[in-house]
Amino acid sequence: MIQLNVQTVELPLARPFAISRGVRTAVTVVRVTLIDGNVEAMGECTPTAHYQESAESVCEQLERVRPHIEAGMNREALQRALPAGSARNALDCAMWRLDAAKQGKTVWQLLEMQAPKSVITAETLSLDSVENMANAAKNAVARGAKLLKIKLDRELIIEKVAAIRLAAPLATLVIDANEAWGGLDLESLFEALHEYNIAMIEQPLPAGKDKDLVRCLHPIPVCADESCHVRADIAGLRDRYEMINIKLDKCGGLTEALAMAAEAKALGLRLMVGCMLGSSLAMEAALPVAVQAERVDLDGPIWLAADHQPALRYTQGEVWL
């Protein structure tokens, strides 16, 4: 019989993290541990209020399926037992790790994939003043960052991007508007941003209100984040997005994430892999999808005051296994 342990953990941030929807100084994660004899495995999720989740609601979901988990429910049955989201993600990732450990393998070996030595990951520039964001960019590239993700709202968009590009002339820049650009003249904005060699713009319009992108000429690829949760969403996004952002906490775990990657490739959409704020325990679970992606944003642990151990190593703009 499998034993399920559930723990809620608050992780203080080393510095405030700001996006268009607000500022955070800590992140609350839920961790599950599955124990089968003398083998155990963990999974972590970050409940997100924007998706009507809380640590309490996630724990309630986990308790509802506890009898089935402890009776030996497998990953396939889990996909039907819980909806896409954080609770299923934590369990799904723990199940992958437990299955691998019971066979004396790694998850990479279970997937018949080669683990890389490292993966280039974005370093996020938190929403701030023009000067502070430019300084953050300068400091990031001085540490070796190669890819910068710029959090923006509706204010001083071009001014911030121009200052960041001046501070980081060689870095690859991507922008994340977090749904904040509704009502703006997107074609003019995209054209102006194109001058700064922006590689991608993530979710400029609110989910469900992004049809304007169909008619909007955009010289910069646009990536769906909040508009894309599971594989069933993907086909309907092809007329407005060139990329999708896969996050394990949105889609409900590695099982669905791998299926999303395959579906996106089959439909000709490019891949990004992202994360919620969380520890190395959560980021490591996403790496089998990250190695298939064009852009990777798994920098959650660098925002934490203290990471989960054993921790991934972040240096020179890469995450090292």
Tokens of 131: 């000067």
Tokens of 60: 């309630």
Question: How many Cα atoms occupy the beta-carbon half-sphere of 30 within 13 Å?
Answer: 27
Q: Which of 105, 138, 149, 151 is catalytic?
A: 151
Bond into 310 cis (ω within 30): yes
149 is catalytic: no
Cα–Cα distance for residue pair 223/201, rounded to 1 Å:
6
Tokens of 280: 């190395």
Q: What is the DSSP letter of 115?
A: P
243-246 and 270-273 beta bridge pairing? parallel
250 is catalytic: no
Cα–Cα distance for residue pair 140/182, rounded to 1 Å:
30
* Phi, psi of 35, deg, nearest 5: -120, 125
Cα–Cα distance for residue pair 212/275, rounded to 1 Å:
26
Cα–Cα distance for residue pair 19/152, rounded to 1 Å:
7
* Phi, psi of 279, deg, nearest 5: -95, 180
254-266 and 86-102 helices, crossing angle to 10°: 100
Q: Which of 146, 149, 209, 247 is catalytic?
A: 247
Cα–Cα distance for residue pair 107/283, rounded to 1 Å:
14
Residues annotated as part of the active site? 151, 247
